[in-house]
C-alpha cells in the first residue's frame, strides 16, 4: 500500500510543480463563463421576452384587421395599426412607420390567409419575427376558439403564463453536468500522458527495478488521477452555490462522477498499455471517451441526465440505483484492466 | 540587378527543397506513429457507436434529452392533461393524489370542470372549463409551470394536426416574406400557405409534414411525428445528416426547432442560421485531433534531445519548423476541402477556414515549445482548442444579427453555406487578423527553437520571456542621441510592441464578450480597467523580458554612477514601445471603423475613433495625439519599474493601469 501512495504522491508533485492543475481550472472557468455568456447573449438577442419593452409596430390591412387588433391587445410587445388597403400598409413599411406588414384575406374555404412582410437582414428582424409569431398565434387561437363547435377534439385550455428564465433549466441540465464531467476527461488524459511518458523516457524501466509490482504502479497513478477529480467538481458546485444556484445531492453527484472517473481511467490505462506511443494513445483515448460518453448520454438515464436530476432535486430511487450501478461497472472495469495489465505488462 | 534576383531565386529554391525534405521525413514518421491497427480500432469504435446511437434515435429509445424528467408534476391520471405531461420529456407525471407540493412535486395541475359533467371517472377534454397550475414558490416551480404550459401547447398542436377539419383546426395560414426597404418588394422565401408556393420552400427541409395545405386537403401534416421530434437534438439528427439544401436565409419552416405545421403561425421560426452554424462547426472538429498529433510531434523533438541532430544540420530553424508543419497544414487543407465538398460549401469556406487552421497549429506550436511534459502539453492543447473554438464559433452565432460577427472567419463559412454574397473587404476583415496572428505565433515559437531552450526544463513564463527577448537588441547608452544602432534597437522595441496588437484585440474582445453578461453599471468600469491592464501588459512585457534577460542593462548590474544611463535607457525603450503601440493602434483604426464601433460595449473598448466630427482642428489634433502621450507616459513608467526588478515592475504596472483606466474613463464620458 505504501509504495502506491508514494507513486501517487510523486504524480501529484509533478502536477503541482508544473502548475498544470491551475491551467485546468482556468480552462474550466473559461468554459463556464463562456457558456453563461452564450446563453444570456442568445436569450437577449433572440428572445425578445428578455428585452423588456421591445415594441413592434405592425401595419395591417385586409379583411381581418379588427381581429388582429384584438389579438394585439393580448400580446404585450406588439401593436397593430389599421390601414385602408395593402398598398397603404406597404407604404408605411417603406417609410419606416411600421416594422412589418400583415395583409389578411378571408378565403372561400373559410380560412384566413395572412401575408406577412418583415424587413430583411437587419439587426431587429429576429425580434420582429418572434413578436409577429406571438401575435399571429394569439390570433390563431382566437379564430380556433370561434370555430370550436366544428372540431372533434377541442383543444385544452392553456394555464396562465409564468415568468421564468430559460437560464434556469440550462444551468441544471447543461452547465452543471458539463462542469462535473470536465475533470473526468482531464483525469483520464493525465493517466494516458503519465504512462506513455514513463515508457517514452525510459523511466518505467527504472520504476520496475524498484520493489513494486506493475499493478501497484498502475494503482498509484490511477489513485492520483481519480483523487483530484472530485475536488475540482466540488469547487464548481461550491462556486455555483455561492452564486445563488443551489445544488442538491452533492454527495451522490460526487460519487457518480468519481465512479465515472474510475471508468475513464480504466479505459485510459488499457489504451496506453495497448498503444504506448503518446500520439496514438491520446487519439484513441479521445475517440473512446467521445464514443463512451456520447453513447451514454444518448441513452435514457445517461450520466448527464442523472447529474441534472440529482442537482435539481428531482431524483428518485431509480437514480440512486443508477449511481450504484455506475460504481459497480467502474470498479469491475478497473479491476479487470488492472489484472490484464499486470499479467501482460505495459508497452508490449 | 538580375544577378541579385537570380541569387535570391536560387536561395528560395534551396530553402523550398529543404522544407520539402523535412516535410517528407515528418509525414513518414507521423504515419508510423499512428499505426494501421490503432486507426482501424478508432474507426471501428466510431462506427459501432454511431450505429448504436443512430438506431437508438431512429427507434425513439434514445434521444439527447438532457432535461428528461427534471420537473415533477402532479396530475390526476384521469385528467386530459395527463397525456400532455406524459408526452413532454422534461416533465414526469406524479399521481395528484400522492403528490405533495414542494416535496414530491414541483407543480400540480388543477382542472376546473363544467358543473354537472362530473362523473367520477375520466374527464372529457371538452368539459374542462379552465385550468390552474399551482407551483412551488421557487425558481424551479416557475420553470416547471412554464414547461407545463409548453407541454399543453404542444399537445394542442398535435390534437389539431389529427383533426379532419383542417379549416377549423388551422384557420390562419401565413406567408412570410423578407423584404429590404430599399430594394422594394420581391418574392422572398415563403412559408407554406398558398398551395403553389409550398413545394420548393419546405420540400428541402425534410421535417415531416410538407403536404401543402392550400385550402382543404385532409392529408397535410398528419404524419404525427411531433411526439418524437422536438427540441434541438432532433435537428442535428435529421438535418445534419442529409445536409443538402434548406439553408435559405432566413430559415423558415420545419427545419429548425421542430415546429412542423407548415403554414400555421406556430411554424414561423426567426432567422437563425442553425443548420449552417452546425455545419460550420464540423470544420472545427478535425482541428482538435490534428493539433494533438502536431503537438506530440513537436514535443517529441524536445524529449531525450531527439531534435539535436536536426539542429546541427545546415537547415535553419525556420526551415525545420516549416517542414514539420507542412504535412499537418496539408492535412488540414485536405480535410477542410473534403468537408466543404460534403456539406456544400465553396472555395470561400476553404479560404475562411485556412487562417483558423493556421492559428490552431501556431498556438499548438508555441504550446509544445513551452511545455515541459506530455501532461503539460495536454492542458495546453485543451486550452488552445477551447479558446480558439469559442473565438471562432461564438461570433458566428450572431451572423445575421450584428456585423461584429465578422471578427470570426467562421461567419464567412456560414454566409457561404447560406449562399450569400460576401464582399472582398469583408473577407479580408475576417481572415487577415487571424492569419497575422498565426504568423506571429510561429514567430514567437521560432524564437526559442534553439538548443538552450528546447532541451531544458524551464518554466513556461521564463521561456516566454526568452522568446520575446530574442527579438530585442541592446540599446547603447553613450554616443549621439540619433545614433544608427540606437535607432535600430529602439525600432525593434517598437516593432515588437506593435506585433502584440492582434493579441491585444483578441483579449479585449474576449473581455467584452465575457463581461457582456453583466449589467452595464458593473461591466463598463470593470471593462475599462481590464482593457487598460491588457494594453499596459502588452506594451511593457517585452521590455520586462529585455531587462530580465540582460538585453537592456539593469540598475543592480552597473556601477552606482551609471544609474542615470539605465534610467535613460528605460525611458527611451518605454517611449519607443508606447509609440509602436500607438502607430499600430492607429493603423487598425481603419479596421475599427468598419464595424466594431457599432456595438455599445465595443465603443467603450475601442472608443477613441468615434464621435470626433465637429471639433476644431486643434482639438482634433490634440485628441489624435493624446493617446500617444498616454502610451508614452504609462509605458515609460512601467519600463522604469521593469528595470528595477519584479516587485517594482508589478507596482509600476498597477500604477500605469490605473492611469490608463482613468484616461479611458475620461474619453468614454466625453464621447
| Mean residue pLDDT across chain B | 75
Nearest to B152 among A23, A126, A156 (CB): A156
pLDDT in the model for residue B248 = 30
Half-sphere exposure of residue A200: CA atoms within 13 angstroms, side-chain side? 26
DSSP symbol at B101: B
Across the range A25-43, mean pLDDT stands at: 68
B287 vs A124, more confident: B287
3-class DSSP state for residue A52? coil
Flag whether pLDDT at B640 surpasses 60.
Answer: yes
- Does B38 score more than 50 pLDDT? yes
Contact B358, B438 (CB under 8 A): yes
CA-based nearest residue in chain B for residue A172: B67
User: Which residues contact residue B517 at a Cβ distance below 8 angstroms, ignoring those fewer than 6 apart?
Assistant: A36, A37, A40, A41
Q: Which CATH architecture has domain B71-161?
A: 3-Layer(aba) Sandwich (3.40)
Q: Do B400 and A125 touch (CB under 8 A)?
A: yes
Q: Give the residue on B whose Cα is nearest the Cα of A128.
A: B270
Neighbours of B425 (CB within 10 A): 10
Q: 3-class secondary structure for B133-146? A: EEECCCHHHHHHHH
How confident is residue A265, by pLDDT bands cut at 50, 70 and 90? very high
Torsion angle in degrees (nearest 10) through CA of B401, B403, B409, B411 = 20
**All three cell numbers of B334:** 485536405
What are the residue ranges spanned by the domains of chain B? Answer: 71-161, 166-180+187-222+232-272, 274-470, 473-671
pLDDT at B358: 95
Alpha helices in B89-231 (DSSP H): 139-161, 166-169, 195-202
Q: Do B160 and A177 touch (CB under 8 A)?
A: no
Per-residue pLDDT for A264 more than 90? yes
B229 touches B212 (CB < 8 A): no
Phi, psi at B572, each rounded to 5°: -65, -45
CB atoms within 10 A of CB B223: 13
Q: ipTM surpassing 0.90, yes or no?
A: no
Residue of A nearest to B58 (CA): A298
Mean pLDDT of B31-43: 67
Contacts B140 to A, Cβ<8 Å: 168, 312-313
How far from each other are the two terminal CA atoms of chain A, in whole angstroms?
Answer: 26
pLDDT band at A256 (very low <50, low <70, confident <90, very high): very high
Q: Is the pLDDT of residue A122 over 60?
A: no
CA atoms of B401 and B452, how far apart (whole Å): 50
User: Is residue A311 within 8 Å of A172, Cβ to Cβ?
Assistant: yes
Q: Do A299 and B80 touch (CB under 8 A)?
A: no
Chain pair A-B, CB pairs under 8 angstroms:
345
Better pLDDT: A34 or B315: B315
Q: Show the cell assigned to B535.
A: 494594453
What is the model's pLDDT at position B363?
A: 93
Beta strands (DSSP E) in B196-277 are none
pLDDT at B443: 92
Q: Find chain A residues with C-beta within 8 A of B517's C-beta.
A: 36-37, 40-41
Over the stretch B610-634, which tens digit does the pLDDT of each residue have? 444 455 666 767 777 788 888 888 9
Report the pLDDT value the prediction gives residue A134, as an integer from 0 to 100.
80
Percent of chain A topping pLDDT 90 = 15
Q: Do A286 and A264 form a contact (C-beta atoms < 8 A)? A: no
- Average pLDDT score, chain A: 82
Q: Do the beta carbons of residue B81 and residue B134 sit within 8 Å?
A: no
Topology of the domain comprising A56-150: abc type-2 transporter like fold (3.40.1710)
Phi and psi angles of residue B64, each rounded to the nearest 5 degrees, phi first: -85, 50
- In the three-class reduction of DSSP (H, G, I as helix; E, B as strand; rest coil), residue B28 is classed as helix
CA distance B562 to B403: 55
Residues of B in contact with A34 (CB under 8 A): 390, 394, 513-514
pTM exceeds 0.80? no
Please provide residue B323's backbone torsions phi and psi, each rounded to the nearest 5 degrees. -65, -40
Q: What is the DSSP string of B549-590?
A: TTSSPPGGGS-GGGHHHHHHHHHHHHHHHHHHHHHHHHHTHH
B101 φ/ψ angles, rounded to the nearest 5 degrees: -60, 130
Q: Which three cell numbers stand for residue B36?
A: 494501421
DSSP collapsed to 3 states, A237-261: HHHHHHCCCCCCCHHHHHHHHHHHH
Whether B512 shows a pLDDT value over 60: the answer reads yes
Give me the residue spans of the domains in chain A.
2-41+166-344, 56-150
Residue B173 is inside which H or E element, if any?
strand B172-179
Q: What is the mean pLDDT of residues B662-666?
A: 84
Of residues B185 and A13, more confidently modeled: A13
For an interface test with A, give the residue of B126, B135, B148, B270 to mutate (most A CBs within 10 A): B270
Flag if A169 and B169 touch (Cβ within 8 Å).
Answer: no
Which of chain A's residues have a Cβ under 8 Å away from the Cβ of B46? Answer: 287, 290-291
Share of chain B above pLDDT 70, in %: 72
pLDDT category at A45 given cuts 50, 70, 90 is: low
**For the segment A59-117, what is each residue's pLDDT rounded down to a tens digit?**
888 888 888 888 888 777 788 888 888 888 888 888 888 888 888 888 877 788 888 88
CA B658 to chain CA centroid, Å, is 30
Amino acid at each position: 500500500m505504501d509504495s502506491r501512495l508514494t507513486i501517487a504522491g510523486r504524480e501529484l508533485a509533478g502536477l503541482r510543480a508544473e502548475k498544470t492543475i491551475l491551467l485546468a481550472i482556468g480552462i474550466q472557468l473559461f468554459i463556464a463563463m463562456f457558456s453563461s455568456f452564450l446563453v444570456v447573449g442568445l436569450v437577449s438577442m433572440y428572445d425578445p421576452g428578455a428585452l423588456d419593452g421591445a415594441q413592434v409596430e405592425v401595419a395591417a390591412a385586409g379583411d381581418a384587421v379588427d381581429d388582429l387588433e384584438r389579438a394585439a391587445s393580448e400580446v404585450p410587445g406588439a401593436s397593430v395599426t389599421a390601414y385602408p388597403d395593402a398598398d397603404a400598409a406597404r407604404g408605411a413599411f417603406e417609410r419606416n412607420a411600421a416594422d412589418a406588414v400583415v395583409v389578411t384575406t378571408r378565403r372561400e374555404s373559410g380560412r384566413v390567409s395572412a401575408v406577412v412582410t418583415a424587413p430583411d437582414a437587419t439587426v431587429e428582424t429576429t425580434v420582429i419575427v418572434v413578436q409577429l409569431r406571438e401575435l399571429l398565434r394569439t390570433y390563431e387561437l382566437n379564430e380556433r376558439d370561434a370555430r370550436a363547435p366544428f372540431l372533434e377534439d377541442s383543444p385544452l385550455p392553456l394555464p396562465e403564463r409564468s415568468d421564468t428564465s430559460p437560464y434556469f433549466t440550462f444551468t441544471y441540465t447543461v452547465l452543471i453536468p458539463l462542469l462535473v464531467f470536465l475533470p473526468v476527461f482531464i483525469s483520464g488524459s493525465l493517466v494516458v500522458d503519465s504512462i506513455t511518458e514513463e515508457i517514452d523516457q525510459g523511466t518505467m524501466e527504472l520504476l520496475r527495478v524498484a520493489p513494486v509490482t506493475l499493478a501497484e504502479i498502475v494503482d498509484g497513478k490511477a489513485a492520483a488521477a481519480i483523487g483530484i477529480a472530485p475536488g475540482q467538481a466540488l469547487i464548481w458546485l461550491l462556486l455555483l452555490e455561492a452564486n445563488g444556484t443551489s445544488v442538491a445531492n452533492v454527495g451522490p453527484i460526487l460519487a457518480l462522477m468519481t465512479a465515472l472517473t474510475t471508468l475513464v481511467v480504466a479505459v485510459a490505462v488499457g489504451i496506453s498499455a495497448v498503444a504506448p506511443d503518446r500520439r496514438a494513445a491520446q487519439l484513441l483515448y479521445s475517440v473512446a471517451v467521445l464514443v463512451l460518453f456520447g453513447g451514454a448520454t444518448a441513452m435514457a438515464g445517461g450520466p448527464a441526465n442523472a447529474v441534472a436530476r440529482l442537482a435539481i432535486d428531482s431524483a428518485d430511487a431509480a437514480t440512486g440505483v443508477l449511481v450504484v450501478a455506475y460504481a459497480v461497472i467502474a470498479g469491475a472495469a478497473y479491476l479487470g484492466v488492472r489484472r490484464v495489465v499486470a499479467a501482460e505488462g505495459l508497452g508490449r | 540587378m538580375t544577378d541579385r534576383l537570380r541569387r535570391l531565386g536560387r536561395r528560395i529554391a534551396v530553402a523550398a527543397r529543404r522544407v520539402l525534405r523535412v516535410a517528407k521525413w515528418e509525414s513518414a514518421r507521423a504515419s508510423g506513429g499512428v499505426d494501421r491497427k490503432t486507426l482501424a480500432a478508432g474507426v471501428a469504435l466510431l462506427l459501432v457507436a454511431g450505429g448504436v446511437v443512430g438506431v437508438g434515435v431512429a427507434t425513439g429509445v434514445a434521444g439527447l434529452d438532457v432535461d428528461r424528467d427534471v420537473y415533477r408534476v402532479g396530475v390526476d391520471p384521469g385528467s386530459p392533461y395527463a397525456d400532455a405531461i406524459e408526452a413532454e420529456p422534461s416533465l414526469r407525471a406524479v399521481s395528484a393524489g400522492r403528490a405533495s407540493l414542494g416535496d414530491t412535486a414541483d407543480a400540480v395541475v388543477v382542472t376546473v370542470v363544467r358543473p354537472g359533467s362530473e362523473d367520477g371517472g375520466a374527464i372529457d377534454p371538452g368539459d374542462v372549463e379552465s385550468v390552474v397550475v399551482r407551483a412551488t414558490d421557487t425558481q424551479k416551480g416557475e420553470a416547471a409551470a412554464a414547461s407545463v404550459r409548453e407541454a399543453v401547447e404542444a399537445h394542442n398542436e398535435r390534437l389539431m394536426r389529427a383533426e379532419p377539419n383542417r379549416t377549423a383546426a388551422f384557420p390562419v395560414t401565413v406567408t412570410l416574406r423578407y423584404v429590404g426597404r430599399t430594394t422594394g418588394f420581391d418574392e422572398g422565401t415563403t412559408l407554406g400557405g398558398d398551395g403553389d408556393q409550398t413545394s420548393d420552400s419546405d420540400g428541402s427541409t425534410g421535417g415531416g409534414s410538407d403536404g401543402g395545405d392550400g385550402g382543404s386537403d385532409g392529408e397535410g401534416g398528419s404524419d404525427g411525428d411531433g411526439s418524437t421530434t422536438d427540441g434541438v437534438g432532433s435537428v442535428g439528427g435529421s438535418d445534419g445528416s442529409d445536409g443538402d439544401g434548406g439553408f435559405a436565409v432566413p430559415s423558415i419552416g420545419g427545419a429548425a426547432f421542430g415546429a412542423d405545421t407548415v403554414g400555421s403561425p406556430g411554424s414561423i421560426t426567426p432567422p437563425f442560421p442553425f443548420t449552417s452554424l452546425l455545419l460550420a462547426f464540423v470544420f472545427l472538429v478535425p482541428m482538435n485531433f490534428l493539433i494533438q498529433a502536431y503537438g506530440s510531434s513537436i514535443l517529441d523533438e524536445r524529449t531525450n534531445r531527439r531534435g539535436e541532430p536536426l539542429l546541427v544540420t545546415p537547415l535553419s530553424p525556420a526551415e525545420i519548423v516549416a517542414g514539420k508543419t507542412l504535412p499537418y497544414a496539408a492535412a488540414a487543407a485536405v480535410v477542410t476541402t473534403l468537408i466543404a465538398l460534403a456539406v456544400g460549401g465553396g472555395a470561400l469556406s476553404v479560404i475562411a477556414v485556412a487562417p483558423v487552421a493556421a492559428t490552431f497549429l501556431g498556438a499548438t506550436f508555441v504550446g509544445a515549445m513551452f511545455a515541459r511534459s506530455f501532461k503539460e502539453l495536454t492542458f495546453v492543447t485543451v486550452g488552445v482548442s477551447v479558446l480558439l473554438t469559442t473565438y471562432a464559433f461564438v461570433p458566428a452565432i450572431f451572423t445575421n444579427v450584428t456585423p461584429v460577427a465578422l471578427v470570426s472567419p467562421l461567419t464567412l463559412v456560414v454566409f457561404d453555406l447560406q449562399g450569400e454574397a460576401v464582399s472582398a473587404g469583408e473577407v479580408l476583415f475576417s481572415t487577415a487578423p487571424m492569419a497575422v496572428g498565426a504568423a506571429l505565433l510561429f514567430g514567437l515559437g521560432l524564437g526559442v527553437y534553439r538548443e538552450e531552450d528546447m532541451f531544458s526544463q524551464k518554466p513556461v513564463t521564463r521561456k516566454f520571456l526568452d522568446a520575446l527577448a530574442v527579438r530585442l537588441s541592446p540599446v547603447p547608452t553613450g554616443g549621439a542621441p540619433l545614433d544608427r544602432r540606437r535607432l535600430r534597437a529602439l525600432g525593434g522595441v517598437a516593432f515588437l510592441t506593435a506585433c502584440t496588437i492582434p493579441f491585444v484585440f483578441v483579449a479585449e474582445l474576449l473581455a467584452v464578450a465575457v463581461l457582456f453578461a453583466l449589467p452595464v453599471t458593473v461591466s463598463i468600469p470593470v471593462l475599462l480597467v481590464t482593457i487598460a491592464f491588457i494594453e499596459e501588459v502588452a506594451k511593457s512585457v517585452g521590455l520586462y523580458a529585455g531587462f530580465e534577460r540582460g538585453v537592456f542593462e539593469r540598475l543592480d548590474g552597473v556601477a552606482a554612477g551609471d544609474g542615470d544611463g539605465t534610467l535613460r535607457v528605460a525611458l527611451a525603450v518605454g517611449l519607443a514601445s508606447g509609440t509602436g503601440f500607438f502607430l499600430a493602434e492607429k493603423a487598425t483604426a481603419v479596421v475599427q471603423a468598419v464595424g466594431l464601433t457599432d456595438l455599445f460595449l465595443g465603443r467603450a473598448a475601442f472608443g477613441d475613433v468615434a464621435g470626433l466630427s465637429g471639433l476644431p482642428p486643434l482639438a482634433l489634433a490634440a485628441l489624435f495625439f493624446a493617446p500617444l502621450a498616454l502610451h508614452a507616459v504609462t509605458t515609460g513608467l512601467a519600463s522604469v519599474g521593469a528595470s528595477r526588478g519584479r516587485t517594482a515592475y508589478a507596482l509600476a504596472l498597477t500604477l500605469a493601469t490605473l492611469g490608463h483606466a482613468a484616461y479611458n474613463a475620461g474619453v468614454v464620458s466625453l464621447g
